[in-house]
Amino acid sequence: MQELRKDPMTPRSVRERMSIAEGDITKLAVDAIVNAANESLLGGGGVDGAIHRAAGPALLDECRKLGGCPTGEARITKGYRLPARHVIHTVGPVWHGGGAGEEGLLAGCYRNSLELARAHGLRAIAFPAISTGVYRFPPARAAEIAVATTAEFLAGADLPERVIFCCFGEASREAHEAALEKLD
């Protein structure tokens, strides 16, 4: 009789591929960090500005050649002076109360970023809390979408092997922890 084997992508193994860190995403030595960018990809405030400052002017030069990025999509560049080899730029939605397709667009940010990471053979990727700053997406709901979308993607993909939700502050970390607990 053949022994039954567990599916390698059980919810538990998917959960084990995700972790939470609190701190500065520009300091992470991973294959790619995700930039919560604006549609121009030419830098801005918050995470976007911090990534552009840390990466140096060559990042802006490469971003100019990309011609922007629509909300919910993603583009990849080199990491330049960052410890991360690549930056995946994604444009999150501005929160307008939830009736303008914001949740689907935010899920698209995570899904499209993960797909770029997979397509480029990247093993480790770190996300900020996309759209929760000046774009005003409710942090707890954003964390639930981030975690659920990532778990769904990882269940069907070998790469990336590791996803880090890099939170800037305790409230964001707690929201992501609560979202991860819902998977267990």
d(CA 66, CA 88) in angstroms, rounded, equals 12
**115, amino acid identity:** E
Catalytic pick among 7, 48, 158, 184 = 48
Would you tell me the crossing angle of helices 170-181 and 139-155 to the nearest 10 degrees? 50
Among 89, 84, 46, smallest CA distance to 65 is for 89
Whether residue 48 lies in the annotated active site = yes
Q: How many residues does the chain have?
A: 184
Checking DSSP bridges between strand 124-127 and strand 32-37, what pairing results, if any? parallel
Active site residues per annotation: 48
